Amino acid sequence: MMNIPPGIDPDLLRSFVLVAEGGSVTRAALRVGRTQSAVSMQMRRLEEMLGQALLLRGSRGLSPTPHGLWLLDRARRLLAMHDEIVNNFRAPEITGQIRLGSPDDYALLWLPEILAGFAEAHPAAEVEVVCLPSSELLRCYDKGELDITLISGGTEQPGLPSESLWRGPLRWVGSATRPVHLLRPLPLVLSNTGCTWRVAATRALEREGVPWRMAYSSASQTGTHAVVLAGLGVTVGLSIALPPGLRLLGKEEGMPELPDLEIALLRHPGAAAEALADHIRRGFIARPNTAARAA
């Protein structure tokens, strides 16, 4: 008789994904509603089941081993399918309009697959997508003009509980053909004064004593990329899917280190908002971000 290996509890994989992405057992425990010791025990159990070390502790917290990275990619996909199956049978029929906010920096990276999956599961629902900077989205959400919104972590206000969806490094972005990053003062191309990315960039430059000036500003990433492509300044962004003609800049080019970026979710109560929030969570789990984290 053939020996069939025991299956892996999806809860173990869910905790593993959260620990691997957030670099912290404590943060993962808060997300899954368990104690820190319970999640640590889950990680030990998973490693014992698979016979391999999956996580290593370093100066920036826990990070996946090579075996852990292999599992992380597949666990995301498995959990997305698992949750889709479960929610397809449990989810109530959603009708009417749902107002979704998102900075345009994230819209093209994550929303197409998320919205396609939501439309397939809830064909009677209509989603209105509003793309604005995080600070403006927060004001719209606070006034009840949005049912659910994505924002850059650090923008949220006390009294508005948010849910962390993704964490990865913020990077300097410059022209691939023009060494604009060598100019002093450094010409910057960023968003409005309340933008989390702008605050992170200017603080990093000031910390390292690099003189800078605001050359251009734009409320959209498309606008900042256009200016950088013209060789008129440098900007900041994610290390995912840069347009041709742009490149990442780092320590080798004399640019100061930037902090990690967090993407958070805010939602008002209601079945429609929760249904869309669930698709957003699964979309962020399924979307590989190891390239962004390792860059």
pLDDT tens by residue, 162-190: 888 888 888 999 999 999 999 999 999 99
Task: Assess whether 267 and 153 both reside in one domain.
Answer: yes
Confidence of residue 292 (pLDDT cuts 50, 70, 90): very low
CATH number for the domain that contains residue 211: 3.40.190.10
Q: What is the pLDDT of residue 6?
A: 66
Range of the domain at 79: 10-88
Domain-located, residue 3: no
Q: What is the pLDDT of residue 4?
A: 44
Domain-located, residue 1: no
Domain-located, residue 30: yes
Last residue of a domain, one of 57, 72, 88: 88
Q: Which amino acid is at 153?
A: G
Last residue of a domain, one of 24, 58, 88: 88
pLDDT tens by residue, 9-31: 889 999 999 999 888 898 888 88
Confidence of residue 149 (pLDDT cuts 50, 70, 90): very high
Task: Assess whether 74 and 108 both reside in one domain.
Answer: no
Domain-located, residue 16: yes
Task: Decide if pLDDT at 137 tops 60.
Answer: yes
Domain-located, residue 4: no
Q: Average model confidence (pLDDT) for the chain?
A: 86
Task: Assess whether 218 and 188 both reside in one domain.
Answer: yes
Task: Assess whether 200 and 129 both reside in one domain.
Answer: no
Task: Assess whether 148 and 276 both reside in one domain.
Answer: yes
Q: What is the pLDDT of residue 290?
A: 35
Domain-located, residue 2: no
201 CA to centre of own chain: 18
Confidence of residue 295 (pLDDT cuts 50, 70, 90): very low
Domain-located, residue 139: yes
Task: Assess whether 178 and 250 both reside in one domain.
Answer: yes
Confidence of residue 154 (pLDDT cuts 50, 70, 90): low
Domain-located, residue 34: yes
CATH number for the domain that contains residue 37: 1.10.10.10
Task: Assess whether 158 and 14 both reside in one domain.
Answer: no
Which residue is listed with tokens 């309009």? 97
Strand pairing of 96-102 and 148-152? parallel
Q: What is the mean pLDDT of residues 103-130?
A: 87
pLDDT tens by residue, 240-288: 768 899 999 999 999 999 988 889 999 999 889 998 998 898 888 766 4
Task: Decide if pLDDT at 157 tops 60.
Answer: no
Q: What is the pTM of this model?
A: 0.65
Task: Assess whether 254 and 268 both reside in one domain.
Answer: no
Tell me the DSSP string of the chain: -PPPPPPPPHHHHHHHHHHHHHS-HHHHHHHHT--HHHHHHHHHHHHHHHTS--EEEETTEEEE-HHHHHHHHHHHHHHHHHHHHHHHHHPPP--EEEEEEE-HHHHHHHHHHHHHHHHHH-TTEEEEEEE--HHHHHHHHHTTS-SEEEEETT---TTS--EEEEEEE-EEEEESS--GGG-SSEEEEE--TT-HHHHHHHHHHHHTT--EEEEEE-SSHHHHHHHHHTTS-BEEE-SSSPPTTEEEE-GGGTPPP--EEEEEEEE-SSHHHHHHHHHHHHHHHHS--HHHHH-
pLDDT tens by residue, 33-69: 889 999 999 999 999 999 999 999 887 789 999 999 9
Task: Assess whether 218 and 275 both reside in one domain.
Answer: no
Who wins on pLDDT, 145 or 295?
145
Percent of the chain with pLDDT over 70: 89
Q: What is the mean pLDDT of residues 97-110?
A: 88
Number of domain units in the chain: 3
Confidence of residue 291 (pLDDT cuts 50, 70, 90): very low
Last residue of a domain, one of 88, 104, 134: 88
Q: What is the pLDDT of residue 91?
A: 59
Task: Please list the residues that pair with 248 across neighbouring strands.
Answer: 173
Confidence of residue 293 (pLDDT cuts 50, 70, 90): very low
Q: What is the pLDDT of residue 30?
A: 84
Task: Assess whether 185 and 254 both reside in one domain.
Answer: yes
Task: Assess whether 279 and 207 both reside in one domain.
Answer: no
Task: Assess whether 82 and 106 both reside in one domain.
Answer: no
